[in-house]
Structure 1
Amino acid sequence: MKLQIAIDRVSLEQAELLTRKLAPHADIIEAGTSLIKDYGFQALERLKAAAGAAKLLGDAKTIDEGAYEFRQGYKHKADLLTVMGASSVETLQTCYAVAEASRTEMMIDLLECTPEKVAQIIHFPNAIYCLHTSVDQGASANPNQEVLAFKKAFPTVQRIAIAGGINLQTLAGMAEADPEIVIVGSAIVKKEDPVSAAKQFRKVMQETCKYSM
C-alpha cells in the first residue's frame, strides 16, 4: 500500500515547501488540480525538483485533447497524470499510448463513472483506477467496502487507488481491501503539523499492511 499526499489550493511557494517537507514520508506527491489550474504544467518542474525520491503526480483531470495534455505534463516532469474515466474511450486510449511510450503512468479518475462506463474502460493493464469521492460530496462512508465491491465487480483490474476524505480511522479499516494507493489531502496538508500527520498515516499504513498479509 502506497501513500499519495495531495497538495492543493495553496500558493506555488507553499506547495514547493510542503513537497520538500512531506516527500520523505510519501510514495507519491500530488500536484492537485487547482494548483495546476493556477500555475500550469510548468509548476510541475519545481515540485519534481522538491520531491526527491517520491514520484510526482499531476492531477490534470484530462477529459479531451489527451495526447497534447499528457505530452505536456510528462514534458514538465510528471511521473503520473490523471485522465477522467468519463472522457471518451478514444481519449483514454490516446493518454494511455502516450504514457506507455513515455514509460510513465496513467491514473484514471472514476469520479461519477457508472458501472457501465467502467466496464468499457478496464482494458488498460498498467493504468491505475482511482475510486474517488469528490470534495463536494464529502468523505467516503466506507472506503474498505468501496474497494472490495469494485474488486468483485471488476476482478481483472489489478491497480486500484482510493481518494476522498480518507482519515486515520478509515485507513486502519482498509486491511482487507488493501488498495495499491491511498490518497490523502487535507487530513495531512491542512494540519498544524503536516509532517507529524504524514508520519501517523505512514505508521497506520504499515500496521494495516501487516494485517492484510
Structure 2
Amino acid sequence: MTKLQIAIDRVPLAEAVALAETFNGVADIVEMGTSLVKDYGNLAIKELRQVLTQSELLVDIKTMDEGAYEFNQGYRYGGDILTVMGAASLDTIAACYKVSQAQHKQMMIDLLEVSDEKISQLKQFKDAIFCLHHSVDRKDKWDAADSVLKFNADFPGITSLAIAGGLDLAQTRKLAEKQLVDIVIVGSHITKAENPLISATRFKEAVS
C-alpha cells in the first residue's frame, strides 16, 4: 500500500502544530518542512512530536554536512525519519546512514538535482528511502508517473521510493493505482485547501 506523507511548510509554528494534530492518524507520515526547521529549529520538533500519536514524523533537515551530529539531534528531538541531500558527499550520507541504523530509525535521501551517476553510488544505502523531488522553483512541467517509471527502469535495485513536487489528487491516484512508489508526498494541495482535513482524507483514500 502506498503511504501518504503530508508536508507542512511556510506557516507559523502554532499553525503547523494545529495542522499536524489535524493530520494525525490520517497521514501515514507528517512532514515538518525545511522552512519550519529553519524558522524554529530542532526544539520545535518536540511540539509536533507531542501531537503525532498515530503518524510518523519526518523532519526535512536536508543535511549537507555534519551528518552524524545533525541526525543524532534530529532523532533526539523526536524525528522518525530525517532527510539528507543526495548531493552531499558520500561520507556525509554514510555518517547519516550509520546513525539511522544504530537508532533503528529511517533516512530519506533527497535526489533533488542529483545525477544518475551519483544515484548509482547511493544504491549502497539499501535501507534508505529515496525521494524523487521536482523543485518548486522549476518552471517546467513534469509527469510524475513517467518520471517514476524511468527511474525504476534505470535503478531497479532501489526498493523504497518516495516522490514529491506539486502532486495533485489525480497524479496521486495514478501513482497509487499503478503501485509505482511507496510514499506520495503532498504539500499545499492539502495544507492550503479550504478544508485541510477533507483534502487530506481524499488523498488518503486515493492511496488506499
- TM-score, reference length from structure 2: 0.96
1:188 is the counterpart of 2:190: yes
For the 8 Å contact 1:140–1:164, the answer to whether it is kept is: no
Cα offset, 1:184, TM superposition: 0.2
Kept after mapping to 2: 8 A contact 1:5/1:26: yes
Q: Distance in 1 between matches of 2:92 and 2:45?
A: 22
What is the CA–CA distance in structure 2 between the aligned matches of 1:26 and 1:178, rounded to whole Å? Answer: 19
How many residue pairs are counted as aligned between the two chains? 206
Aligned: 1:173 with 2:170: no
State the match for 1:42 in structure 2. 43
What do the CA deviations read for 1:48-73 (whole angstroms, capped 9, x no partner)?
Answer: 11111100000000000000100010
**Paired residue secondary structure (1:24):** coil
Deviation per residue, 1:5-36 (Å, 9 max, x gap)? 00010111000000000122100000000000
Unaligned runs of 5+ in 2: none
Aligned pairs for 1:7-26 within 5 A: 7-26=8-27
Which amino acid in structure 2 is aligned with residue 57 of structure 1?
A: L
Question: 183-192 vs 142-151, which deviates more?
Answer: 142-151
Mapped partners of 1:190, 1:139: distance in 2: 22
* Cα distance change on mapping 1:80 and 1:14 into 2, 3 Å: same
Q: 1:12 to 1:110 in 2, by over 3 A?
A: same
Kindly report which structure 2 residues correspond to 1:1-213, keeping only aligned pairs within 5 A, or say none.
Answer: 1-137=2-138, 141-174=142-175, 175-206=177-208
Could you report, residue by residue, the CA deviation over 1:124-169 in whole angstroms, capped at 9, with x for unpaired residues?
1110000000111158621111111111111110000000010011
Q: Runs in 1 of length 4+ with deviation above 6 angstroms? A: none
**CA separation in 1, counterparts of 2:162 and 2:140?**
15
Structure 1: which 5+ runs fail to align?
207-213
Greater RCO, 1 or 2 (C-alpha within 8 Å, sep 6+): 2
TM-score scaled by length of structure 1 = 0.94
Alpha-carbon separation, structure 2, partners of 1:140 and 1:66? 33
CA distance in 2, matches of 1:15, 1:57: 13
Code of the residue aligned with 2:63 in structure 1: it is T
Instruction: Provide the rounded CA distance (Å) in 1 between the counterparts of 2:29 and 2:148.
Output: 20
Of 47-56 and 168-177, more deviation after overlay is shown by 168-177
CA distance in 1, matches of 2:110, 2:139: 16
CA shift at 1:176, angstroms?
Answer: 2.3
Give the 3-state SS of the residue equivalent to 1:147 in structure 2: helix
Give the share of equivalent positions with the same residue, in percent: 47
